Structure 1
């Protein structure tokens, strides 16, 4: 299984998702998983609860404050991703100029 993929049950059906990033919040003492559904342009998040046997399960994000924290993290993630893309495009343009 690909470690950047997960399957969740949504409305009784299995749905594939791509994990965008994970985050541990010291403030809330919780592990979060932010993911995008592979079949649609929708992003969501859940709290990951690890069990004693090393496996785990997901719970819903509970508070508005947690969602605000995750929104801010997602904005930073998207911003970093866009900067990386721009840097790659700049590098490609330099290589083209040298050729």
Structure 2
């Protein structure tokens, strides 16, 4: 498995997702993983619970406050990507 991909059981099917970013919240004291399913444009998130030996499992995001925090982080993440693309476009226009 590649470092930026994960396999999830979704609706009884194994699907591949690309990890967009991870985030540790000092407020909730939880680790979050935000990912996009490889075969569609759907983006989701989960809480990563680490167990002994560096392994772990995912739990559902529980509260509206957590989803709001993750939505804000995702907007910032996507905004940064768009800014990077615009900067690259500007540089190629100058050539």
Task: State TM-score, norm by structure 2.
Answer: 0.97
Number of aligned positions between the proteins: 95
Q: Which position in structure 2 is the counterpart of 1:45?
A: 45
- Kindly state the Cα deviation for residue 11 of structure 1 after the two structures are TM-superposed: 1.7
Match of 2:27 in 1: 27
CA positional deviation for 1:57: 0.4
Match of 2:82 in 1: 82
After TM superposition, where is structure 1 displaced by more than 2 Å over at least 4 residues in a row? none
State the Cα RMSD in Å.
0.6
Q: Deviations over 1:10-30 (max 9, x none)?
A: 122101000000000000000
Runs of 5+ consecutive residues of structure 1 not aligned to the other structure? none
Per-residue CA deviations over 1:33-78 (Å, capped at 9, x if unaligned) read 0000011110000000000121110000000000000000000001
Structure-1-length-normalised TM-score: 0.94
